[in-house]
Structure 1
């Protein structure tokens, strides 16, 4: 028993090291690809011109990158507090899930709800024909819509055992997207409230949940053991 546990420990450490390395490389790649537009927003953010910093997509992305170290400190603090009540792995997983789904969703929602040039003047527009707007979205628009609730779909099942199901995550993403599209219409943000946005947002949340399934299935299993 002891020999098998000791033999399984190194591969587990190797997998964690590989995952961390891949995450760092992924962040570095994203930062490299968007470095030019981010650097255009950096002077306004550094100078405290928040209207130009937080009022543009580039500025919000820049602030997200700047806020990564503080977010990491929050995860560490929450995990440190939780280690008294649970094991270290669960403490880190729950803390990362809580910070991740907030930090990865709120800034993107902020960008989604930014008013257009005709906000308050142009009446709300609705597109209820499924799949009609996918053509006009383009590849970049589809990817952007897939990412709107990706963090929520990835982390929510890890934090809440009741959401540890792909259909439930799909429903959660669709419900949140409906709220966003309704807000765009009600507040006349000069945006089109489209059913295709809801579909793509929900699929993005489900795909992200599928990527984290290894961890949220563990959460669901432990919750079942606790109930027993």
Structure 2
């Protein structure tokens, strides 16, 4: 975990320092919208930006590598030390977790697990493409796309009971996984 701190200390400190600003933004947004929407808007951004910054942080000692074979990186984690597994797996699950959990609370269009999956997959594909094209010394892997998208969906599933309004309406979502059970 020391490696995480040494690589991402500025992002972690910046995230902590930005918390009062995020709270202030929620309070300001509450003047124009509900508490739920204000927290969802600010929280989705505040909870996602640090992870995006980390994924786009150059690794000076790393080599740019492309891995398009599904599940190969995940299989290699099986023999890795526990701290590496935790950082890689949990970190990738959390990249779009805030967006997946909170966007459905704010925007009716996201009240569908396939749409949240699409958000995670497209967002992650953009990240992996940028990592490779910008030559950040990182591995651009299809497994990261899969785990990032899964993290968004898992987080969305956790907040699913709160997607609906008090009267049970979904505010315009019909069909698919967006229906209330």
Shorter-normalised TM range: 0.7 to 0.9
Of the candidates 121, 126, 135, which is equivalent to residue 75 of structure 2? 135
Note the residue ranges of structure 1 that are not aligned, 5 or more in a row.
1-33, 42-55, 83-90
Aligned position for 2:46: 103
Aligned position for 2:37: 94
In the TM superposition, 1:1-228 aligns within 5 A as 56-82=7-33, 91-118=34-61, 122=63, 124-137=64-77, 138-218=85-165, 221=169, 223-224=171-172
SS in 1 for 2:136: coil
Q: CA deviation at 1:68?
A: 1.2
SS in 2 for 1:205: helix
How many residues are paired up?
A: 165
Question: Structure 1 or 2: larger helix share?
Answer: 1
SS in 1 for 2:140: strand
Q: CA deviation at 1:57?
A: 0.9
TM-score by length of 2: 0.82
Q: Which runs of 4+ in 1 moved over 4 A?
A: none
Determine if contact 1:104/1:151 at 8 Å carries over to the other structure: yes
Determine if contact 2:163/2:170 at 8 Å carries over to the other structure: no
Cα distance in 2, alignment partners of residues 37 and 181 from structure 1: 21
Larger radius of gyration: 1
Higher RCO (CA 8 Å, separation ≥ 6 residues): 2
Note the residue ranges of structure 2 that are not aligned, 5 or more in a row.
78-84, 174-181
Determine if contact 1:37/1:58 at 8 Å carries over to the other structure: no
